[in-house]
A and B are shown apart, each in its own frame.
Chain A
Amino acid sequence: MSTRDVELLRGDARPSLGSSGRRWGEDGIRALLLVCACVSVLTTLGIIIALVQPAIEFFREVNLIDFITGTRWAPLFKPSSFGVLPLISATLLLTFWAAVIFIPFGLGTAIFLSEYARPGVRRVLKPALEILAGIPTVVFGFFALVFFTPFLQDIGLGLETFNIVGAGVVIGVMLIPTVASISEDAMAAVPQDLRAGAYALGATRFHVATRVVVPSAFSGIIASYILAISRAIGETVIALIAAGTIARITFNPEEGAASMAAFIAATGVGDVPTGSIEYKTIFAVGLTLFVFTLVMNIFSTRLVRRYREVYE
């Protein structure tokens, strides 16, 4: 028995398992990190409160059913009308045209990068995509207005200066990198074993991509689409610059129409008096937009969970 054992037995020098004093540094860091985490939560709460308060006041003056089902949006005219459907329809149409672009091109880019591109090509293409993702949306907006729409007019389409299809397609192009990058990450997570297994059965590269890699990465691909749809719904500057500010229900993509976000931006920078009904419309539409995005997010988490493939 060593002296240490004897000491332990006697209980003289029994080591303490309790804290050897408060670690102030540790507590300080913890508090700091908590503040960081709280900033976004508090901001979200603040936004909701700031939205809901004036929105409630708005709905004291305007019937909720009239707001949701009304087909005429004319808050600044007399007699005014507060049917939000024109703004919603323009928003969904822009999203539709964006999706027509980003769904195939985003996935195609991801498949190309993950399954076809040689390392050299990848090294060039990936940064190029990142540059595309880094271009400010206002640049895309002007690109749509002064280049893309005139181009479509030149090839014989009867577009108005402000139009849905030009804005929607450019929003779609803007979102290609988002879809490609998230989808490609999901594809990179597909085990190499599965690819080898498919090739060993005599599958071509195309079969491996479409029948093994894409289905296995499906949840990630869906997630990328949902994120892109959310961003298309909320896209403001491109819609404002290229699709205009006229609120109307139209299914003709050659015409322009104001989306929810475009309306909010246009009215917000205009000189509507604080507290007026016109001012409160901003918040009512903002709340509607918020509900849309929230529903998309809930929907996406559900869908992603449902399609998540388990690779052991």
Chain B
Amino acid sequence: MLKGDDMETAQATEPAVRLDRVEPAIADRSDPAAVAAVQVPPVFQVTGLSVTYGSHLALADVTMDIRSKAVTAFIGPSGCGKSTFIRCFNRLNDLIPSARVTGQVLYHEDDLYSPTVDPVEVRKLIGMVFQKPNPFPKSIYDNVAFGPRVLRRKDELDGRVEMALRRAALWDEVKDRLKTNALSLSGGQQQRLCIARCLAVEPDVILMDEPASALDPISTSAIEDLMHELKTDYTIVVVTHNMQQAARVAEMTAFFSVDVGEDGQRTGVLVEYDETQTIFTTPADPRTEGYVTGRFG
């Protein structure tokens, strides 16, 4: 497994070669910005992170960095702890009484799990989009305005709502019916509304847990386009079980798998973390190769 530092060196010494080997699906990542991004300090540095639910060790000893202003994808079989892991970045596991997180997550330089950190403040900076679109049973406008209202940023509310909806590529579809109930939108529109709702808070990072897995192919590609759009301004972490999606949208990909202990306990582990193209073309670990080729073949 490559650690962040090793990877940067590898990237710096032979970037051209890497990019030449890019598959057509990944080719649009050859822009220099993505390469330059490697030099920027990581947004998150995760060290020795484990999560237990009660006595069940669900995720063990994950160490990885999350690159700034790029898309990082988590892939792996279901139950390997991808959702559990992504929820560690915005302290959403705090809502699950049985969950216990150990290890360290640094956000820029700050320890997210230090006792002085307020999870509410964390979530203002680190937004999240869920697998199933979860708009509130309120109007479209009130959904997007929810964040600014609870954060008492009520100046220019109309402008904030419009901006967020525009960035989520939803404005043109809903601008004439902002007062209608959000549940009247299609699934794909609801998910873009949830993205708009998240953008209205002006976060730094957007976490997405299988944001397109409940959507039709057209909506899925709209969401993927959106990720491309947004990564110029936001750091994006996305869980997906769709490998083509990871290949299309992500600069970096982490492959997780499940270790089954003697007692039958299933524990998620990080198998391999690298440039997306490496994961898909020349993975270092046979388990990654098996999973990736299995899914593509």
Contact = CB atoms under 8 A, between A and B. Distances in A.
Nearest to B190: A312
Chain A binding surface, main DSSP class? helix
Contacts of B120: 202-204
B123 A199 contact: yes
Contacts, number: 73
Interface in B129-172: 130, 132, 134-138, 146-147, 149-151
B146 A211 contact: yes
A312 B134 CA distance: 10
A5 interface: no
Nearest to B138: A215
Contact of A202 (B95, B124, B130, B135): B124
A284 B201 CA distance: 61
Given A196-B92, A310-B183, A204 B134 contact: no
B59 to A, nearest CB: 18
Given A196-B95, A200-B198, A201-B197, A207 B183 contact: no
B137 A202 contact: no
Interface stretch (A125-133, A143-151, A187-195): A187-195
B128 A200 contact: yes
B151 to A, nearest CB: 6
Contacts of B97: 118-119
A216 to B, nearest CB: 6
B134 A194 contact: yes
Interface string B76-97: 0000000000000010100101
B121 interface: yes
B137 A310 contact: yes
A203 to B, nearest CB: 5
Contacts of B92: 196, 199-200
Interface string A269-298: 000000000000000000000000000000
A211 B146 CA distance: 9
A191 B132 CA distance: 11
A297 B97 CA distance: 40
A197 interface: yes
Contact of B95 (A119, A195, A204): A195
A136 B183 CA distance: 45
Contacts of B149: 211
B197 to A, nearest CB: 7
B150 A211 contact: yes
Interface in A187-244: 191, 193-204, 207, 211-212, 215-216
Interface in B181-226: 183, 194, 197-198, 201
B127 interface: yes
Given A207-B150, A211-B150, A200 B137 contact: no
A196 B130 CA distance: 9
A198 B132 contact: no
Given A202-B151, A215-B138, A310-B137, 9 more contacts: A119-B97, A198-B150, A199-B92, A200-B92, A200-B130, A201-B124, A201-B147, A202-B147, A310-B183
Interface of A: 118-119, 191, 193-204, 207, 211-212, 215-216, 309-312
